[in-house]
Structure 1
Amino acid sequence: MGIKSFLASRRNQKKSSEDIPVKVSDYMTRKLITFRSDEKIEKVIDALIKYRISGAPVVNDKNELIGIISEGDCIKHISESRYYNMPADNKTVESHMIKNVDTIDGDMNIFDAANKFLESKHRRFPIVENGKLVGQISQKDILKAALKMKGQTWK
């Protein structure tokens, strides 16, 4: 005699929340520390230390992304100032920020974003919608997403 199943038909089962891919927008940081291109590098260094961050987006008055500045950019500034024996207090963000910034779509799957981190060696990606900066995803955010999911349905 065959084994009978006491479960109902599986044809019309609804997808559970575990079956829905996790989006970057679910884990991105929305409250960002940003800088303006005319701010002094020393202010950026103070903020990076104070808020324990490794970099931040640079925006204009319309909150449009125009660059990104990192600890590495600030260290480069310090090194150049020392090497050329130049004062370090007269440089602005604009002279040291990266202007060609890679971004990620907020609708991207979190695991595709993780792969993009691996390919690019970036530590963070800004998210832009309709030309405006709306958030940022970091490698740490990807790790938080993975911990929260704890290996359940890696889709």
Structure 2
Amino acid sequence: MFKINRFILYTSILLFLIFSFSLPLLAQENEEETEERVFRNPFIEYVEPAPANNSNTSSTNPGNNTTQRAEPVITFADIKSGLPFQLDGIITSGTNRIAIVDTGDGVEFVRSSFEKDNYYISAINQDSIIVNNRGFTFQLRIGGEINER
């Protein structure tokens, strides 16, 4: 009986020593795993982060053949020159207004909320329409005159 108790005691001490030395190693491996993980939003498309450079955004590194360019600045003149339609007239009946718009493909009768090539007609006034594009809002009058708002 004493031999069985001694055997159980030695076995339990041995198991205790094995687990006490292996648990810190397992915890350290788990910490290394979580350091390598990158958590991101699963609902947006993943984009690789750009490498950090100490140079200007429009310069070229001789060792690295990549060129970083700044976003082009969009001006009001660019928006005006890309206008895909012109206002030919406005029909008024009581409080309702219909704009007659020449899109190049033909004439369209527009009440409001018309869109072509990212140019949105948001409102129809007595002699003009209000157009939005890329943050610019302007007024297109009958005959082609464009006024910035």
> What TM-score results when the alignment is normalised by the length of structure 1?
0.24
Higher relative contact order (CA 8 A, sep 6+): 1
Larger Rg: 2
More helix by share: 1
